[in-house]
């Protein structure tokens, strides 16, 4: 998979791309990431990328010309002829639909993604209308720009690509993962898929830490009991931290 990032701060991505799973995926060729400085596509000596909004109001708005020139230089097909199963142009902004694990799975099927990092008060809406396939937000809050959301999206998508993780089943068993109908021969006997819930609590050594022991059931060797306990804990954690997820979670025979 190839990522192209259009930004006025290309140096921002130096650090995120040098660590952990994302770094290994880029080094081994599972994915590639390329930054493009929007100011390189301006046509005035001040390299102006923004202007005042029509109709008045506070802040500045990113101009459409440099963004169009940059994206068109990348060889991406025009929006009306683009193959949505292969490539996508995405605007990152606070006005976008929410980026979720489900969206990450959809994007992981593509060959190429172009990410437009918004800045200032926003981006000329014609960029969204004429150039972009999606407008995404990583949460219900406002950031200074789209660089952090771009890094988050890339990390979330890359870890879903084949070979990115040491154990391919890891993404199935974590928060927001798919449901398992039974233990199955291909799954650890004590593991329970998230089924749209948050992940269950995890423990490691020491068994007793500052007077707090690991739940006894986890060291008892009863895989079926552990599996049921983990499911109950995941359900409880979801009720406490993200009750909104219960409406769409896979909960056969369970109380929401």
HSE-CB for 178 with a 13 A CA cutoff: 10
- Per-residue confidence (pLDDT) for residue 250, from 0 to 100: 78
Residue 52 lies in domain: 2-158
Q: Give the total residue count for the chain.
A: 256
Residues of the chain with pLDDT under 50: 180-185
Residue 171 inside a domain? The answer is no
For residue 168, is it within any domain? no
> Do 150 and 201 belong to one domain?
no
Co-location of 84 and 38 in the same domain: yes
Q: What average pLDDT is seen over the chain?
A: 91
pLDDT at position 121: 87
pTM tops 0.85? yes
The phi, psi pair for 239, rounded to 5°, reads: -60, -40
Residue 115: closest CA among 9, 236, 208, 241: 9
State whether 191 and 138 are in the same domain: no
CATH code of the domain in which 227 resides: 1.10.1270.20
* 61, 53 contact by CB (below 8 A): yes
pLDDT on residue 177: 65
Query: Which of these three, 124, 158, 192, is where a domain ends?
Result: 158
CATH number, domain containing residue 100: 3.40.1280.10
| pLDDT at res. 182 | 45
> Is 9 in the same domain as 136?
yes
Together in a domain, 124 and 215: no
Q: What per-residue confidence (pLDDT) applies to 101?
A: 94
Q: Looking at the 3D structure of the chain, how many domains does it have?
A: 2
Do 150 and 39 reside in the same domain of the chain?
yes
């Amino acid at each position: 998979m190839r990522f192209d990032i259009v930004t006025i701060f290309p140096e921002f991505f130096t650090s995120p791309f040098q660590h952990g799973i994302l770094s290994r995926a880029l080094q081994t060729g599972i994915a590639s990431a390329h930054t493009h400085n929007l100011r390189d596509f301006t046509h005035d000596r001040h390299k102006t990328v923004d202007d005042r909004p029509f109709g008045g109001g506070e802040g500045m708005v990113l101009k459409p010309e440099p963004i169009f020139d940059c994206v068109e230089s990348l060889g991406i097909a025009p929006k009306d002829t683009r193959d949505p199963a292969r490539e996508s142009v995405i605007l990152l902004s606070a006005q976008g639909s929410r980026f979720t694990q489900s969206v990450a799975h959809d994007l992981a099927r593509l060959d190429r993604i172009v990410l437009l990092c918004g800045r200032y008060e926003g981006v000329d809406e014609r960029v969204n209308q004429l150039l972009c396939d999606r407008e995404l937000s990583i949460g219900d809050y406002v950031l200074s720009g789209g660089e952090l959301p771009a890094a988050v999206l890339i990390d979330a998508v890359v870890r879903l690509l084949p070979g990115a993780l040491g154990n391919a089943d890891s993404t199935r068993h974590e928060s927001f993962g798919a449901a398992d109908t039974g233990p199955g021969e291909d799954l650890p006997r004590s593991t329970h898929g998230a089924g749209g819930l948050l992940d269950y609590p995890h423990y490691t050594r020491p068994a007793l830490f500052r007077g707090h022991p690991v739940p006894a059931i986890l060291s008892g060797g009863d895989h079926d009991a552990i599996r049921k306990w983990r499911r109950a804990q995941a359900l409880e954690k979801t009720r406490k931290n993200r009750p909104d997820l219960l409406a769409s979670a896979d909960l056969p025979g369970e109380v929401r």
